[in-house]
Structure 1
């Protein structure tokens, strides 16, 4: 592509530079570079202008290194002035996520691709719904150990554009596949929602309620079953209106957010409330839910992002992948073939208990773990900070779907590929929601300064226009997440210590 002609004003500065005397010629070069930097940032000039200035500066007798250093400094300063005056200069948009083929590994991928052959549903939506449902069906026997037991329960939010994303269409093949002859396999409970309260969730998987009753006439006491409860603690929830659930979490006293977080972690749930005596021992619950991007931005509270509710879900962008004016039902014979194989996989999964990585997968996990375990202090980190647990759980499900007695490298790679898609989706979904970028700016300041700055340098980076409270909160978040570290230098003659902040190597 042809370069733009030299900007008229730049040309005048070049002529001035050529006429400059020996003393002020470096200052003249800096002024010209500053002007060109402004012109480049505003789209009036390009590299051709820089080349013209370099040529002119060398003609004045300045050395090549001096020219390069002064020119670079001046151009950057000019660009910065224009960018800071434009509120949209830092505006970035994320690309729609693209899944790696590895996510469609094995039985889950085969069924997802079969299900969308004659449908407009997104194969990622079918895959995620399938993995959630299968993880519930196998129950709590198969698990991986990572300090605590990681089971096969996962939650997913499918985010798209209203009905055009065909989110609901993606659940139809899963309903058809998970139809069992109860003499062969007792299916998990299923619910269409809506999610409205924590107590409602517990009630669906509640323990029996017993009461000790004493007969006043005989004085004999006995246990009476007031409520038989629910013996099977497996529950799959397919709620197609996540916006309603988010609205409920904002009501005073609503426990939905707390219970969803507790269900993901596992263990006995026994809310300490005056009115409810509900208890659920060892529940095994997974949620797949749908929402539009507009509803999510309108409904999701920043509190729910930062309190751990959001990172109990996988966030996946879904949309219609093709146009099919005459969709057809699934081939019933092929569905039955998938059902037979599914039944065998469920039976083999019942015999599994603790599963571990094989040597090859263990080596890969050791390599990838530092990246997964890295804490992030920003909003996106609050959505993705449960990565280690999720990758293990997804890998476990892929292994069970392979009839394997351990997690092998293909299972781990499939899980990592799905997690990568979730990361891409989260960047797209939550872009622009974080209004406070102080943490990110501090990281940028440290990077630009070679990884080290004192408090004065940080305040200077913010133009000395940032409150002490805001800076303190951001620094504490970065210190807690080990993105930065701090050292205190005490002056020899006494006085207040000087704090030096360093960028941690892993960051």
Structure 2
């Protein structure tokens, strides 16, 4: 028997795709729009879902990151004068233990490993863990003097202690941060601080980071995020999805793997090619791009979301490759937008709505995390370590209620006096991104 945080429906292989359980909201976390579960990878995540406690968003995005690395830098989209391959860097954010961050990674690896020769080589030679230094990364790829050297330049590095990477990146003498920022954007990098400079070219590096929300907030100030390493990553909130206290059957993924492998292999070995949008996708992208640009905000949240347009197109390209398509269609952009929307909501939960008033931002984030039960005035006071006066707290509460961001309701317990509770208004913000996702449905 399994006791579930979310009831798991009977997912027969022929009917499981129709369920919305995979995208049901987990308390305190954003909701993953069903558009993100497009195509074969979405089908795989739905089949994996009943067999694991891992959050579907974590399984999905880490799987996508690995599949993009399998393809490499050949297929690309153009944004301005820059080439963007199907390279995405997820930052999986969840509490220690119950976040099930490691489990979501394990499920992604298991699926990628279920392919045949193409993926078995990739899993054996192109997966690594730990980001020790910039020099170490470049040395792995360093250009060889032997012209017959055919070293694979694809690599997925998982850093399960990503807080250490952020700390190392902030050291004045560290080359790690600048190197990562370069390799997110380009396929070559060099380290010139040595007596024998290192250079690597033709590189396709994917980094998957794991961290808790508390660590991320502690490590990053506004200055740290601005122009820094963290804003190259897609923040993805996860936590334990369900309780499974018995063994479960292995999901049947063989058919999906057989469908995917030849598509990804063709994309990997083909000559570098620019992927263009269909006419319908071009019209849809214009609307998406306008909304993303209009949604820009200042501060850490804005810095984290600054690369949203690039990420939507990188993800759209990846979904197109997974479909075996020769162009990007509206559904591919919509799927990419759904993931970026989830990342944006994750960033809001981590960094708050960033009004410019740190206390107001902290209170906003606190009541959002509290969910439907809200927060009493005593709990609000505890949120600030009981270092704010009643007058200061009342002023903050008044600001949020006047803005329509929250409301007060009376909680009447079975025993004791009624209590005033501050509750976040989930529909407070008009969300044009959700409107765009609904448009394409």
Distance (Å, rounded) in 2 between the aligned partners of 1:117 and 1:193:
28
**Structure 2 residue 50 is matched with structure 1 residue 117:** yes
Matching residue of 2:321: 400
Trace 1:149-164 onto structure 2 (pairs within 5 A): 149-164=83-98
Matching residue of 1:337: 255
**Structure 2 residue 143 is matched with structure 1 residue 207:** yes
Decide whether the 8 Å contact of 2:315 with 2:336 is kept in 1.
yes
**Structure 2 residue 101 is matched with structure 1 residue 167:** yes
Cα displacement (A) at 1:354: 1.1
Distance (Å, rounded) in 2 between the aligned partners of 1:276 and 1:289:
30
- CA offsets, 1:175-195, max 9 Å, x none? 222235447874264344221
Cα displacement (A) at 1:173: 2.1
Decide whether the 8 Å contact of 1:196 with 1:244 is kept in 2.
no
- CA offsets, 1:315-346, max 9 Å, x none? 01111111111243624xx2333322221221
Cα displacement (A) at 1:260: 0.9
CA distance 1:269–1:155, change in 2 (3 Å)? same
Q: What SS does structure 2 have at the residue aligned with 1:328?
A: coil
Decide whether the 8 Å contact of 1:206 with 1:230 is kept in 2.
no
Cα displacement (A) at 1:95: 5.5
Q: What SS does structure 2 have at the residue aligned with 1:383?
A: helix
Cα displacement (A) at 1:388: 1.3
Say which of 24, 35, 40 aligns to 1:107. Answer: 40
Matching residue of 1:280: 200
Distance (Å, rounded) in 2 between the aligned partners of 1:380 and 1:403:
35
Cα displacement (A) at 1:437: 6.5
TM-score relative to the length of structure 1 = 0.60
CA distance 1:198–1:434, change in 2 (3 Å)? farther
Runs of 4+ in structure 1 displaced over 6 angstroms? Answer: 227-230, 432-438
CA distance 1:396–1:273, change in 2 (3 Å)? same
- CA offsets, 1:113-136, max 9 Å, x none? 212211101000000101100010
Trace 1:326-475 onto structure 2 (pairs within 5 A): 326-328=246-248, 330-331=250-251, 334-350=252-268, 351=270, 353-374=273-294, 375-431=296-352
In structure 1, list runs of 5 or more residues that go unmatched: 1-93, 211-224, 441-507
Superposed CA RMSD in Å reads: 2.6
**Structure 2 residue 132 is matched with structure 1 residue 196:** yes
Matching residue of 1:316: 236
Q: What SS does structure 2 have at the residue aligned with 1:163?
A: coil
Q: What SS does structure 2 have at the residue aligned with 1:357?
A: coil
Deviates more, 1:253-262 or 1:375-384: 375-384
CA distance 1:104–1:290, change in 2 (3 Å)? same
Distance (Å, rounded) in 1 between the aligned partners of 2:158 and 2:42:
20
Say which of 147, 150, 155 aligns to 1:235. Answer: 155
CA distance 1:379–1:335, change in 2 (3 Å)? same
Task: From the CA coordinates, give the structure whose radius of gyration is larger.
Answer: 1
In structure 2, list runs of 5 or more residues that go unmatched: 1-26, 362-441
User: How many residues matched?
Assistant: 328
**Structure 2 residue 77 is matched with structure 1 residue 144:** yes
Decide whether the 8 Å contact of 2:59 with 2:108 is kept in 1.
yes
CA distance 1:321–1:251, change in 2 (3 Å)? same
Distance (Å, rounded) in 2 between the aligned partners of 1:354 and 1:151:
9
Cα displacement (A) at 1:201: 1.3
Decide whether the 8 Å contact of 1:268 with 1:281 is kept in 2.
yes
Decide whether the 8 Å contact of 2:166 with 2:229 is kept in 1.
no
Cα displacement (A) at 1:436: 6.2
Distance (Å, rounded) in 2 between the aligned partners of 1:175 and 1:195:
19
Cα displacement (A) at 1:268: 2.2
Deviates more, 1:119-128 or 1:140-149: 140-149
Distance (Å, rounded) in 2 between the aligned partners of 1:312 and 1:432:
20
Say which of 116, 122, 132 aligns to 1:187. Answer: 122
Distance (Å, rounded) in 2 between the aligned partners of 1:308 and 1:376:
17
Q: What SS does structure 1 have at the residue aligned with 2:323?
A: coil
Distance (Å, rounded) in 1 between the aligned partners of 2:328 and 2:353:
37
Distance (Å, rounded) in 1 between the aligned partners of 2:98 and 2:249:
19
Matching residue of 1:96: 29
Decide whether the 8 Å contact of 2:181 with 2:232 is kept in 1.
yes
Matching residue of 1:245: 165
Q: What SS does structure 2 have at the residue aligned with 1:381?
A: helix
- Bigger relative contact order, structure 1 or 2 (CA pairs below 8 A, ≥6 apart): 2
Decide whether the 8 Å contact of 1:308 with 1:383 is kept in 2.
no
Cα displacement (A) at 1:160: 0.7
Decide whether the 8 Å contact of 2:139 with 2:198 is kept in 1.
yes
Cα displacement (A) at 1:229: 7.2
Decide whether the 8 Å contact of 1:243 with 1:291 is kept in 2.
yes
